[in-house]
Amino acid sequence: MIRTNKGGTSGGSFGCPFWLLVPLLFATAACRPVAGDAIDLIVEGDYVVTMDAGATVVENGAVAVDEGVILAVGPADEIAARYAATETLAGRARVVMPGLVNGHSHAAMTLLRGVADDLALMEWLQNYIFPAEVEFVDAEFVRIGTELACWEMIRGGTTTFVDMYYYPDTIAEVVEDCGMRALVSATVIGQRSPDAEGANDSIRKGKGFVERWSGRSPRITPIFGPHANYTLNAEQLQATRAAAAERGVPVSIHVSESQFELQNSQNVYGMPSIEMLESIGFFDGPTIAAHVVWPTADEIPILVERRVGVIHNPSSNMKLASGIAPVTEMLAAGVRMGLGTDGAASNNDLDMWEEMRLATFLQKVDRLDPQALPAAAVLGMATSGGAAAIGLGDAIGSLEAGKRADLIQVAFEDVHHVPTFDVVSHLVYVSDEQDVASVVVDGKVLMRERRLLTIDTARVAAEARALAGEIGAALHERNRRREGGKRMVDKPAPGAER
């Protein structure tokens, strides 16, 4: 609701997916204000890139915000004439745009950044990451790692992310405190994990998490995160989907990520991953599918028909040599697509600007077509398209009256922005995370002119370094013992038979 100088109020509501009605129940629609309305915030920019259906770019524009809702977008002088704001973010050498949507992450894995690099996916997972998680990951690890990730994401202009990791209550608490928006998954995996004994225990604990957080915060949506069809069997996947359906929430899952997964699915189920999931009714509810590097021609229509949100992770896919996803073909077919960073242990950062550039460059070089995945299209994947892919398209992703006020200011004052002929081109091909100046989520300023306001960065850095020191020492000792064992095997004791 807005507050008028006359003391009146008015408000309304806007539509959203059924499974997000509760988390967004405080959202209000724009109304028709009278001149001089007192509101919370005005964000100005030399350009306002709305990412709405008309791909509007407003020169010398502004966005009016009150109680977390966008009231109006338009020329700055008109916004100033209509509203009196408590706070104004000045717009000289600034571009205002929707906040970036990171559709797939494992936030707390910032603390495992660099522990195992230059490895194929399954070797990386089975021999390094899974063992390290069982040994080191607890609620405190997740708290510190998620705070570190939120710091990095806010600094880089990400306002919403979809997370899949352990101790989801801790993740949700961190997100609530730092002011971001997130879909937080209760991870389900068919093996002992840091917070569960196996799939059944994961599902049971996930039910409790979803019940505790449903409706608790307008910025947090609790969901289920079944890991993959090679770490869960068909019955476990169906049980996870059923638990999500009972509670009216979506699931996020790794799908068709690697050739290993494709071959494993073919060997076990006689069909590739997407067909397998379709055959068990897994796509009967809202689904966010991460990676989707190897969909077959017959599987892409399934993604369209089932309205699956596909999240492309170019950095991680490249680093793990998983392959190049057919993004151009999926977009042309009508698949809902967004972008994600994956975790910092396989990326190794949470920079969505880098994901945009790599996504478009990969399609161009793979198809030998410089027009493949142009700048505007990939910017859409990081904003409005990404929001639609994760089920929040009616609430965020574009700057339109009635949507939640998740927006950023990007500084265009550095040398690499001089001159600027095409602002959208520069956002994709030139800008990076260091150019983000200010960040607003749900109408609250989280970063003002590169100063974070909701995270004690000195404390987080100190805690992360201290914990990393413990992890590093333990890994060093483990590797020393492993290498010692190898030497004893390789060099038998004197007199031993060869």
Of the candidates 60, 45, 79, the residue with the CA atom closest to the CA atom of residue 401: 79
Residue 51 Ramachandran class (φ > 0 left, ψ -120 to 50 alpha, else beta): left
Q: Give the separation between CA 422 and CA 313, rounded to whole angstroms.
A: 26
Confidence of residue 2 (pLDDT cuts 50, 70, 90): very low
Q: Are 404 and 396 in contact (CB under 8 A)?
A: yes
Q: If we measure between CA atoms, which residue out of 428, 400, 435 comes closest to residue 414?
A: 435
What average pLDDT does this structure show over 292-319?
Answer: 97
Q: Would you say residue 476 has pLDDT above 90?
A: no
pLDDT tops 60 at residue 33? no
pLDDT at 34 over 80: no
Banded pLDDT at 29 (limits 50, 70, 90): very low
- When pLDDT is cut at 50, 70 and 90, the band that residue 462 belongs to is very high
Peptide bond into 127 cis (omega under 30): no
Q: Using pLDDT thresholds of 50, 70 and 90, give the confidence band for residue 325.
A: very high
User: What is the pLDDT at residue 458?
Assistant: 97
Q: Indicate the pLDDT class of residue 494, thresholds 50, 70 and 90.
A: very low
- In this model, does residue 28 exceed pLDDT 80? no
CA distance 115 to 128: 8
Predicted pLDDT at 306: 98
Report, as an integer, the average pLDDT of 55-59. Answer: 94
Span 154-165, average pLDDT: 98
Range 57-62 average pLDDT: 98
Average pLDDT over all residues of the chain: 89
Phi-psi region of 441 (alpha: psi -120 to 50; beta: other; left: phi over 0): beta
Tell me what pLDDT residue 495 has.
36
Give the pLDDT confidence of 100-111 residue by residue, as tens digits.
Answer: 999 999 999 998
d(CA 119, CA 140): 28
Q: What confidence score (pLDDT) does residue 36 get? A: 65
Q: What proportion of the chain, given as a percentage, has pLDDT over 70?
A: 89
| CA-based nearest residue to 440, from 81, 44, 34 | 44
pLDDT at 261: 95
For 24, 32, 196, the CA distances from 29, given in Å and listed in that order, are 12, 10, 41
pLDDT at 333 over 50: yes
Contacts of 411 (CB under 8 A, 6+ apart): 93, 94, 417, 435, 436, 437
Average pLDDT over residues 305-322: 96
Region 272-298 average pLDDT: 98
Q: Which of 22-26, 148-152, 286-290 has the lowest mean pLDDT?
A: 22-26
d(CA 448, CA 4): 26
pLDDT for position 482? 64
> What is the percentage of the chain residues whose pLDDT exceeds 90?
79
Place 484 in a pLDDT band, splitting at 50, 70 and 90: low
Distance CA 311, CA 390 (A): 9
Confidence at residue 135, expressed as pLDDT on a 0 to 100 scale: 79
Measured from the Cβ of residue 294, the count of other Cβ atoms closer than 10 Å reads 21
* pLDDT band at 121; cut points 50, 70, 90: confident
| Closest C-alpha among 402, 452, 21 to residue 215 | 21
Q: What is the pLDDT of residue 392?
A: 98
State the SS3 of the chain: CCECCCCCCCCCCCCCCHHHCCCCCCCCCCCCCCCCEEEEEEEEEEEEECCCCCCCEEEEEEEEEECCEEEEEEEHHHHHHHEEEEEEECCCCEEEEECEEEEEECHHHHHHCCCCCCCCHHHHHHHHHHHHHHHHCCHHHHHHHHHHHHHHHHHCCEEEEEEEECCHHHHHHHHHHHCCEEEEEEEECCCCECCECCHHHHHHHHHHHHHHHCCCCCCEEEEEEECCCCCCCHHHHHHHHHHHHHHCCCEEEEECCCHHHHHHHHHHHCCCHHHHHHHCCHHHCCEEEEECCCCCCCCHHHHHHCCCEEEECHHHHHHCCCCCCCHHHHHHHCCEEEECCCCCCCCCCCCHHHHHHHHHHHHHHHHCCCCCCCHHHHHHHHCHHHHHHCCCCCCCCCCCCCCECCEEEEECCCHHHCCCCCHHHHHHHCCCHHHEEEEEECCEEEEECCEECCCCHHHHHHHHHHHHHHHHHHHHHHHHHHHHHHHHHHCCCCCCCC
